[in-house]
Structure 1
Amino acid sequence: MVTSADVRSALASLADPHRAQASSRYLQITPGGYGEGDRTIGVSVPQQRRVAARYWRDLPLPEAADLLASGVHEERLTSLFILVRKFVKGDDQERGRIFDIVLANTDRIDNWDLVDSSAPYIVGPWLLDRDRSVLDRLAASDLVWDRRIAIIATFAFIKAGDFQWTFRLSDQLLRDPHDLVQKAVGWMLREVGNRDRAAEEQFLAERYRVMPRVMLRYAIEKFEPRRRGMYLTGEA
């Protein structure tokens, strides 16, 4: 049987200390950074995806969950790549188990790349035609990663033409103090605007003056320069 140890060994064989140093800075795995306490071994994302492609079929879900509990960043991200592949190919029972694994381990999905590699591909798709109240709970969490998961999960709804929950959670997170949540909210609003500019601007109309600047900048990034300037100067 393939185990988490096999995946760990495959990743360890690709480790690069120089890349690990760069990754630590990029992911703020540094004292005082939001990734403080994590460990990276310097395996590139394309390499991790290749490892995931090699093992995802034969790695049992409990072993993937074990990998997600790792203290090594690349092992957790590779676990999520594996879980996403299994989710896409699985039946409803397996997809539900994968969703449960993710929700039970949000404290291990503890950097923006881990959230962004799983929330829109597992959490959002599972909730497309189900009760979404878990997103309200995540958005109200003290854990910044829960809050980012909540809003990023709505990307799946946006792709389906459903903007209601993006607006709902954006309102809940409108004054969030963390820049990773502010950026995520702005990004999702921008994705709404890519599909329905009028809907995004209607949402922004009563809120853009009070939302954090970084959130606004992300939300209007694709606007024409003149229109963007009007938002930034409070004249929209």
Structure 2
Amino acid sequence: MRDMSFYIHHLKTELRQVSTLEKAESSRRYFPEGFECLGVNAADIKQILKRFQTEYADLNAEQTLELTEAFLKEAKYNEEFLLAFALINKFVKRHYEDTLLARFEYWLEHYADNWSLVDDLCLKSIFNFLMARPHLIESMQHWALSKNPWCRRASCVVWVKFIKRKMGKQTYFLNTALVFKQCNLLLEDKNEFVQKGVGWLLKVTAIEHQAEVIRFIKENINRFTRPTLRYAIEKMDGETRKVMLQLS
């Protein structure tokens, strides 16, 4: 095994070789001012990762986690963070202790600085990690109390794939009481991306539990912003959406 700096330099070089100004400008349209990117899209990152893991197939799970940690400390651009997160994806189901969940929380609080990094980490690495550890799915409630808005957003996003989830021969159902408790904590959050996370979680919950979501909305209608309400009812039928919007 080589020094971590060798692998990091290799990955950074690969990213820069496929970056373009056009892709950078396209990415910046979706983010607030100050967003730093190289101009590398998701397909590029996937190919870089595939080549890297083929060329350095001898790196085991623990070494790859060490590389991820080292890369995150040096990363500056959005694509570097995305690639660092992606490195461990093939290992998270069958390797690592439950304590990795605490590392994910640390990464959210110290490295995630936009919605794409939050959502990527939650819907890929953390999702796969939890698929093999359903006993941990309800362990992120305290993320809603974080001082970091990106971690608070993650407390909602991390659950959107677990409202109803097939796991082998079993089907997992997330406790809706926890969903509404989480949304209740964050419903008046001042951060728009946390608000969007609340709306997203309610939207996917309504697919399986529409009556309960409608009841929650009615009980808290004066606390809902218009955008959060629209997001929460997005998948409901037209007549129901009309009635719900008239409440606010």
TM-score where L is the length of structure 2: 0.80
**What does 1:148-167 align with in structure 2 at a 5 Å threshold?**
148-159=153-164, 160-162=172-174, 163-167=176-180
2:160–2:200 Cα contact (<8 Å) kept = no
**Which amino acid in 2 is paired with 1:44?**
N
1:20–1:40 Cα contact (<8 Å) kept = yes
**How well do the aligned residues superpose, as a CA RMSD in angstroms?**
2.3
Q: Secondary structure at the match of 1:39?
A: coil
Matched, 1:51 2:48: yes
Aligned to 1:105: 107
Supply the distance in 2 between the matched residues of 1:130 and 1:18 (Cα, whole angstroms): 41
**What does 1:1-150 align with in structure 2 at a 5 Å threshold?**
1=1, 3-28=7-32, 30=33, 36=34, 38-56=35-53, 58=59, 60-69=64-73, 70-88=75-93, 90-91=94-95, 94=96, 96=98, 98-106=100-108, 107-123=110-126, 125-126=129-130, 128-130=134-136, 132=138, 134-136=140-142, 138-150=143-155
Supply the distance in 2 between the matched residues of 1:49 and 1:208 (Cα, whole angstroms): 42
| Deviation, structure 1 residue 134 | 4.5
| Deviation, structure 1 residue 77 | 0.8
Supply the distance in 2 between the matched residues of 1:201 and 1:170 (Cα, whole angstroms): 13
When residues 196 and 55 of structure 1 are mapped into structure 2, their CA distance, relative to the original with a 3 A threshold, is: farther
The answer to which of 96-105 and 148-157 deviates more is 96-105
Aligned to 1:33: none
**Which amino acid in 2 is paired with 1:161?**
F
Aligned to 2:167: none
Within the candidate set 236, 239, 248, 1:223 is matched to: 236
Aligned to 1:213: 226
2:200–2:231 Cα contact (<8 Å) kept = yes
Within the candidate set 190, 193, 198, 2:203 is matched to: 190
Note the alpha carbon deviations across 1:54-95, whole angstroms, 9 max, x for none.
Answer: 33553621111222231111010112222333213x32xx15
1:121–1:156 Cα contact (<8 Å) kept = no
Gaps of 5+ in 1: 31-35
Share of identical aligned residues, percent?
Answer: 24
Within the candidate set 181, 187, 193, 1:180 is matched to: 193
Note the alpha carbon deviations across 1:124-146, whole angstroms, 9 max, x for none.
Answer: 6537313845432x211221101
**Which amino acid in 2 is paired with 1:113?**
S
2:86–2:125 Cα contact (<8 Å) kept = no
Supply the distance in 2 between the matched residues of 1:188 and 1:73 (Cα, whole angstroms): 25
